[in-house]
Amino acid sequence: MTRLPRQPGEVIDRSVPLRFTWNGKATTGFSGDTIASALAASDTRIFARSMKYHRPRGLLTADYWDPNGFVQVGDDPNVRSGHRLLEAGMEVSAQNVWPSLDFDIKAANGLVGRFLTAGFYYKTFMKPAKLWPTYEKVLARFAPGGTIDLDSPHRYHDKRYAHPDVVVAGGGPAGMAAAIAAASVGASVMLVEHNHHLGGALLWGTDVDRATGARLAAECMTSENIEVLLDSTVTGRYEDNWVAIVQRSHPIAVERLIKARAKSLVVAPGLIERPYVFAGNDKPGVMLSGAVRRLVNMYAVQPGSRAVVFTANDDGDQTARDLERVGIEVACTVDARRGENIVAAEGSTKSVESVVLGDGSSIDADLLITAVGWTAPTSLLNLAGDRPAYDPAAARFFSSRLPDNILVTGGLAGDGSLDELIEHGSATGNLAARRALVVAATLQKLTTRAAPLAGDPGEVPADDRAPLGRNPHPELHRSSTHGIVDYSEDVSSKDLFAAAKEGYDSVELIKRFTTATMGPAQGKLETVNTVAVLAEARGETIADVGTTVWRPPYAPITLGALGGRIFEPVRVSTVQSWHEAHNATPILAGQWIRPEHYGDPVGEVRNVRSGVGIIDVTPLGKLDLQGPDVPKLLNLLYTNKWVQLPIGGVRYGVMCAEDGVVMDDGVTARLGEQHYLMTTTSSGAGGVWEWAENWLQTAHPDWRVHVTPVTTAYTSINVAGPKSRELVSRLTDIDLDPQAFAYMQVRTGTVAGIDKCVMWRIGFTGELSYELHVPSGFGLHVWDTLMDVGADLGVAPFGLEAQRVMRLEKGHFIVGQDTDGLTKMPSVGMNGLIKLDKDDFSGKVELGLALDHTASLALPRLVAIQTTDPNIVPEEASQIVRAGTNEILGRITSSRMSPTLERSICLGQVLPEAAEPDTILTVVMTTGERITAKVMQHHAHFDPEGDRLRV
């Protein structure tokens, strides 16, 4: 093919040549060319090889949907060459060819094609079974598609939300008219056009077509109410008109996803021309009329030198006129409306050389053009629950039922002159806008924060449009010969017949069995012919067979665009900058970034046990509780009793879900007459808040309790160790005398000059400790001050790891680590905290049943465990088995080497039979080695009486 003289409708800029490479060879095109048009203009005839038989393939539709037009561009696989605009320096190569496009070894498959019927692989490669993996590797070699470059950088993608009144999908004449009409009644409109120019089929039409298109396009581009999105596609229409739009050309991002809540959606994608099934229909040189008209009129490319035109409609006729206009010989026009037909394209595998007609005659030609009708791309309508119905008179599907917020115009709605299409588009846009304005008013009325609506939203306007007509069109799907139905999947009509005869005779089964319509075009070209061939095989009509369901997206969308800028919030405490400056090793705990340790967790433990350490425990969940009914709420949430907690007191509690499973634990302090501060686990903070609100809002709306999360209102610092009292006393006005401020008490006062600090004496580490809750804006100041004034005491920070070791030394369980999704409260050894004499609490019924003797016997128990060999630390999750067997009796839930005891210590869950103190357990190490260990008397390995806490 070569470039024609300047064409009146050409979109290329001949003054801007662009150099690129095709399979490594330097080639040139023009600005405005697609990759395909540039290649075609430089005499490229073979673009790809087919998936299964590796037959040479040339352009078929020369647009986005061309099944033969896939190329690799740099590190971008599966680029639609009929759509992607040429850029200077592009490295374009053919895909799915080995060793080269022109000489392809796998094409040998073509010779044995008769044996490789659809689904052949289900019937073979079964024996010997050992060889299947080898067969599988061979099959995988035939995987179509381009190549992913695993070194390719992650590019910047973007997303935005939008709330337009009307989204118009499709910028052809009807779509443009709809957008203009909607905008003119005050609606905000997004006009989304798949291609690079507004105009649709007008772009390759007559002078009048192009002039009309240009006028409408100019109006759209200049309207204040219309946002025109070119090279963009409405890829999906989800519930309540949640419309996904992918914007492929955007200055700041490779692709941008727009999520639009459209009040009305106008669907006007036009029609997609359908191939014809006959022998040789995939030879290079067989093209659809649209491809030829695009190439000739938009890109001034000569698609061949001598053509046969098989036409059933005006588009085919116009194609013949276009060819004649540019001087390409039309050897023969075969008119389906006169009952004429074509039966085969003959020639080499690389090109059409002649065309066999229905009467048996043969005509030499290197170009065979078919114009046999259209597929209605009803994808967006399907997503709204539509089931398109087939109209045999018009030879295509039409929508049958749609919600009010979707309107169809253009070719999807019917046929008509250009004026009639524009008029229908206009009426559709007007109706869409009027309906949208009702929805907008309804939304405004229902939305509390919105401006008050003057008047009533009104009724949804009825559909008052004059419908488009439907032109009669012959039903042309398959000639008397067999040919390719699905080009991407290499499925022929013969395959479909065979599959139907074998029993895969419903549209979904045949699709699954043959993979027809499963390729990159997702049936845009293939579905109707597949259905037609199946109908033929079943001796039924297309309407009987029905169609397959189109699934989103309408056009493929990159993972990058869908992922967008990835929002992954992270949370840090006020002291984080200090931690970073002091080489803390970070650990991610949910959204929080926390210090795991500062280089020497063992040293950190020893420092706390012997002197004083400070840890940033800000992520600890904190809830401010106020009101006269707080004790009622606490009684309901915790299993123990809360009515008599004095002001200044702190109490520990466990929360269970209604099934009795432990869900959280923590301490709650009473700060004032009606004022409490609750702590939760770090990961449980959000859940406990919602849990409390759920009880208050749904079960006890009469209770007067206000719950406010204050987790990060405070920077929380635990000062722990025998010298902690000395350290804290240097910077607070609170009386720390053990008589005045005992274990499990709370005080408020000033710390390091900061007022309104809350301080309580508790001891997760097992040491004398003060937990300071400091208003966050001063958290770093207090931390710095502690480090400064405690320097002589040897104060040092400690991280999460040291805290974990110390809590394990003390035998404190961690919810979610030492318990699991089925651990009921009696398993953790705190039956004393279950108060069944309370009127009600969450989990009461199940805990009552669990405490029943027989039931509780079956529950596993949490016990402290020490290995016989003190130097062996079994990994967490090591299993505990019955000696000499593989029967599981439990597992190690926590384990560490204790720097304090200088031996291995564990917590574990075991069945009751193995839970008695001094039971010798068999622990299976992850290496498989079996060791012994002993169940301990107390959960606490260290200081079981808690003397160190109470000093």
Partner 1 sequence: MMLVPCPHCGPRNSTDLHYVGESHPRPSVNDVTAEEWRTYLYMRDNPAGLLTETWYCRSGCRQYFTAVRNTATNEFVNHPLPGNRAGAVDPSFHYVSESKTGSVQPTIEGAPS
Partner 2 sequence: MSEPATFASPVVSIPDFHSGMGIAVPTLRDESTTTKMLVRADNDSAVAASLGVSFGSAILKGGNVLVAATRPTEWLALGDPASVAAVIDQLVAVAEESGNPNHMSTVDLTHGRALFRISGAAAAKTLEKVCSLDWADNMMPDGAVASASVAKVTCDIIRNNQYEQTSYLIASDRSSAQYLFDAIIDAGAEFDIAVV
Partner 3 sequence: MGSIRQRLKAAQNRPSKPARYSAAGLLVRGARSQEWPRVWRSHDLEKSYDVVIVGGGVHGLACAYYLATNHGITNVAVLEKAYLGSGGSGRNTAIVRSNYLTAEGVAFYDRSLSLYNTMSSDLNMNVMFSERGHLTLAHTDAALRTMRWRAEVNKLQNIESTVIDPSEVKKLAPSLDVSPNTRYPILGALHHPPGGTIRHDAVVWGYARGADHRGIQMHQQTEVLDIMVEGGDGPDGKGPGGKVTGVRTNRGDISTPIVVNCTAGWATLISDMAGVKLPITTHPLQAAVTEPVKVFLPTVVVSGSLHVYVSQTDRGELVFGASVDPYATYSMKGSLEFTEELAGHVLELMPNIGRMRLLRQWAGLCDMTPDYSPVMGFTPVEGFLCDVGWGTYGFKAGPVSGEQMAEAVATQRTPKLIEPFKLERFEKGTLVGEKGAAAVGH
Backbone angles phi, psi at 168, to 5 degrees: -110, 120
Confirm or reject binding of residue 161 to partner 3 (CB under 8 A).
no
The DSSP letter of residue 247 is E
Q: Across the strands, what pairs with 334?
A: 310
Using CB under 8 A as the binding criterion, the count of chain residues that bind partner 1 stands at 46
> Which of 672/848 has CB closer to partner 1?
848
Least gap, CB of 787 to partner 2 (angstroms): 9
CB of 752 to partner 2, least distance (A): 7
Q: How far is Cα 730 from Cα 732, in angstroms, rounded to an integer?
A: 6
844 binds, among partner 2, partner 3, partner 1, none (CB under 5 to 8 A by kind): partner 1
Measured CA to CA, the distance from residue 443 to residue 440 in angstroms comes to: 5
If one asks whether residue 854 binds partner 3 (CB under 8 A), the answer comes out as no
Q: Does 879 bind partner 3 (CB under 8 A)?
A: yes
Positive/negative CA dihedral, 601, 606, 609, 610: negative
Distance CA 63, CA 81 (A): 8
Name which of residues 51 to 80 contact partner 3 (CB under 8 A).
75-78
Task: Confirm or reject binding of residue 580 to partner 3 (CB under 8 A).
Answer: no
Residues 741-760 that bind partner 2 (CB under 8 A): 752-754, 756
- 732 is a site residue for partner 2 (CB under 8 A): no
- How buried is residue 28: exposed, middle or buried, by Cβ count under 10 Å (0-12/13-18/19+)? middle
The residue within the footprint of partner 3, chosen from 58, 82, 110, 144 (CB under 8 A), is 144
Buried/exposed code over 403-436 (b: 16+ C-beta within 10 A; e: otherwise): eebbbbbbbbbbbbebebbbbbbbbbbbbbbbbb
**Tokens 């030394």 — which residue?**
809
Binds partner 1 by CB under 8 A, chosen from 113, 145, 358, 457: 457
Q: Does 443 bind partner 2 (CB under 8 A)?
A: yes
Chain positions 75 to 104 lying near partner 3, rule: CB under 8 A, are 75-78
Q: How far is the CB of 813 from partner 1 (least distance, A)?
A: 24
Sign of CA dihedral 161, 164, 166, 172: negative
Binding mask of the shown chain, residues 672 to 711, with x at each position contacting partner 2 by CB under 8 A: --x-----------------------------x-x-x-xx
- Determine contact, residues 92/20, Cβ cutoff 8 Å: yes
Minimum CB separation of residue 179 from partner 3 in Å reads 23
Interface residue with partner 3 among 23, 28, 125, 442 (CB under 8 A) is 125
Q: Which of residues 247-276 bind partner 1 (CB under 8 A)?
A: 259
Cβ closest to partner 2, residue 447 vs residue 932: 447
| DSSP assignment letter at 452 | P
Cis peptide bond N-terminal to 128, omega within 30 = yes
* Residues 463-492, interacting with partner 3 (CB under 8 A): none
Comparing CB distances to partner 3, the nearer of 6 and 127 is 127
Q: Which helix (H) or strand (E) holds 789?
A: helix 779-789
Interaction of residue 588 with partner 3, rule CB under 8 A? yes
The yes or no reply on residue 509 touching partner 3 (CB under 8 A) is: yes
CA dihedral 866, 870, 872, 877 (to 10 degrees): 10
Which partner, partner 3, partner 1, partner 2, none, binds residue 588 by CB below 5 to 8 Å per kind?
Answer: partner 3
- The binder of partner 1 chosen from 19, 215, 401, 501 (CB under 8 A): 401
Q: Please say whether the beta carbons of 444 and 451 come within 8 A.
A: yes
Q: Are 704 and 629 spatial neighbours (Cβ–Cβ below 8 Å)?
A: yes
Q: Does 487 bind partner 2 (CB under 8 A)?
A: no
Residues 6+ apart with CB under 8 A from 343: 278, 279, 356, 357, 358, 479, 480, 481
In the list 107, 710, 736, 845, the residue contacting partner 1 (rule: CB under 8 A) is 845
Q: Are 424 and 413 in contact (CB under 8 A)?
A: yes
* Contact flag: residue 238 with partner 1 (CB under 8 A): yes
* Burial (CB count <10 Å: 0-12, 13-18, 19+), residue 449: exposed
Q: Is the distance from CB of 52 to CB of 116 less than 8 angstroms?
A: yes
Where does this chain touch partner 2 (CB under 8 A) — which range of 372-380, 780-788, 841-849, 891-899? 780-788
Q: Would you count residue 244 as binding partner 3 (CB under 8 A)?
A: yes
User: Among 208-216, 596-604, 619-627, 883-891, which window interacts with partner 2 (CB under 8 A)?
Assistant: 619-627
Stretch of residues binding partner 2 (CB under 8 A), selected from 28-36, 365-373, 623-631, 826-834: 623-631
In DSSP terms, 760 is beta-bridged to: 746, 771
Asked if 104 and 50 touch (Cβ cutoff 8 Å), the reply is: no
Write the CB contacts of 202 (distance below 8 Å, at least 6 apart in sequence). 172, 173, 209, 210, 212, 213, 418
Task: Measure the CA–CA gap between 663 and 64, rounded to whole angstroms.
Answer: 54
For residues 257 and 368, what is the distance between their CA atoms, to the nearest angstrom? 39
* Residue 442 contact among partner 2, partner 3, partner 1, none, beta carbon within 5 to 8 Å by kind: partner 1
Segment contacting partner 2 by CB under 8 A, of 7-15, 114-122, 624-632, 736-744 = 624-632
Choose one: 282-290, 441-449, 730-738, 752-760; the region binding partner 1 (CB under 8 A).
441-449
* Min CB(731)–partner 2 separation in Å: 8
- In angstroms, the Cα distances linking 527 to 225, 486, 628, 938 are 37, 8, 68, 71
Among 28, 481, 506, 866, binds partner 1 (CB under 8 A): 506
Task: Enumerate binding residues for partner 1 (CB under 8 A).
Answer: 238-242, 259, 384-387, 401-406, 439, 442-443, 446-450, 457, 460, 506-508, 548-549, 658-659, 690, 693-694, 697-699, 701, 839-840, 844-846, 849
Task: Enumerate binding residues for partner 2 (CB under 8 A).
Answer: 158-163, 252, 259, 261, 443-444, 447-451, 565, 567-574, 577, 591-592, 618-619, 624, 626-628, 674, 704, 706, 708, 710-714, 752-754, 756, 775-781, 784-785, 788-789
